[in-house]
Amino acid sequence: MINNIQFNDRGKLRHFLAIEGLSKELLVHILDTAQSFIHPDHQTIKKIPLLRGKAVMNLFFEPSTRTRTTFEIAAKRLSADVINFNISASSSSKGESLTDMLHNLEAMFCDMFVVRHAASGAAHFIAEHISPHVHVVNAGDGCHEHPTQAMLDALTIRQHKGDFSPLKVAIVGDILHSRVARSLIHALNILGANEVRVIAPKTLIPKDAEQLGVQVHHNLRQGIKNVDVIVMLRLQRERMQSAALLPSAHEFFQTYGLTEDILKFAHPNAIVMHPGPINRGVEIASSVADGKKSVILQQVSNGIAVRMAVMALAMGVPLEESGE
C-alpha cells in the first residue's frame, strides 16, 4: 500500500518515491526508456523537447553534488527550466513550515519537485501535501530509499549482463544506513535476479535483512564467491548514532575492503559498482575503483538517462514526442 500515492487515478505514474511494491513491467519500461535516451555510441545523452515549458525545482535539504547535478542535467536535456532552491537561505530556516514553503513554491508554477531529505518518508509527506498537478521524485530520503540510484544501477547491470535471472549480486558495506542498498535490493528482486547477497559486520546489517529477500554474509571472501556483480557502499558515519558500530576505517578496510586479491574470489567477468562518493582505502582500493572491472563512471552517466526517463514518465508526457 505504500506505493499507491505514486500513481494517479488512472494507474499511471505520478510520483517516483520508492521501488518497493512496483511492478517488473514498470521497472523494465523505465530501463527501456532510459536506454532510448542514450546515443548508440554511449558517448552522449540526447537532448529532446519532452518537458519544454515545464519547471523542475531541486529541493535538496541534504548536500549533494552528483545526484543534484545529474538531475539538473537530465531536466535540461528534456528542455525543462530548472531551479536549484537554496534551502539554507530559504524561509524554512526562518521558521516557515514545510507545507507553507511548498505551497509558495507551487504558486511559482513549478511542475515537479526533486527532493532529497535526511528524514525517511519526507518525499512521501511532500507528495501527500502538494497540489494534484505537481509531481515529486525522491532523490533520497533518510535510510529509506533512493529509487533513481537503484534504477541507474539496474541499467548499468543490464548493459553489461543482459538478463537478470542468472545473476548473483553482492552488496557490501554499510547496509544498515544505506537507502541505496534498500532500493537496489527491491529492484533486483523485482527484476528477477537469481541471488542477492549483503555482506557486512553484524552491526551494519538490518535486523530484517533476510525478510528483504537477501542472503546475509559476514565474511567478504565467502560472500563474493562467484558473484557477477559487486556493489560497494561507503560507511555513512553521518547516520551512525554510535561509534561502536564499527572499528576504525583501517580495520574495516582490512576486513571488508575490496582489493584486487579479494576480487579474484568473484566470477572472472564480475563488474564492480559504487554509488559514490568513494572513500578510497576504506571500502575499496584505488586499483579496483579505477580498474578494468569498474563501471563506476558509467553509473554516473546512466544516472542522467534514468532520471530523464523517470521525470518524463512521471509527468505523463507521450514519449513519441521525443522522436524515438
Report the run of H or E that residue 300 belongs to, with start and end: helix 296-315
Percent of the chain whose predicted confidence (pLDDT) is above 70: 91
Q: Would you kindly state where each structural domain of the chain is located, as residue ranges?
A: 4-145+301-322, 147-295
Residue 113 contacts residue 130 (beta carbons within 8 Å): yes
> What's the confidence (pLDDT) of residue 39?
87
The residue with greater pLDDT, 87 or 152, is: 152
3 state DSSP class of 92: helix
Residues counted in the chain: 324
Measured CA to CA in angstroms, residue 131 lies from 97, 257, 305 at distances of: 16, 46, 27
For 137, residues 6+ apart whose C-beta sits below 8 A from its C-beta are: 15, 16, 17, 71, 112, 113, 114, 115, 123, 148, 307, 310, 311, 314
Task: Please give the average per-residue pLDDT across 117-122, as a whole number.
Answer: 93
All three cell numbers of 113, joined, read 519537485
Give the separation between CA 218 and CA 230, rounded to whole angstroms.
15
For residue 69, pLDDT over 70 is answered with yes
Give the separation between CA 159 and CA 162, rounded to whole angstroms.
6
147-295 adopts what CATH topology? Rossmann fold (3.40.50)
Identity of the residue numbered 244:
A
Question: Which of 264, 318, 315 has the alpha carbon at shortest distance from 291?
Answer: 264
Residue 180 contacts residue 198 (beta carbons within 8 Å): no
Beta strand 229-232 pairing with 215-217: unpaired
For residue 324, pLDDT over 50 is answered with no
CATH superfamily of 4-145+301-322: Aspartate/ornithine carbamoyltransferase (3.40.50.1370)
> Ranked by mean pLDDT, which of 45-59, 91-105, 240-254 comes out on top?
45-59
Residue 98 contacts residue 123 (beta carbons within 8 Å): no
pTM: 0.93
For residue 4, pLDDT over 80 is answered with yes
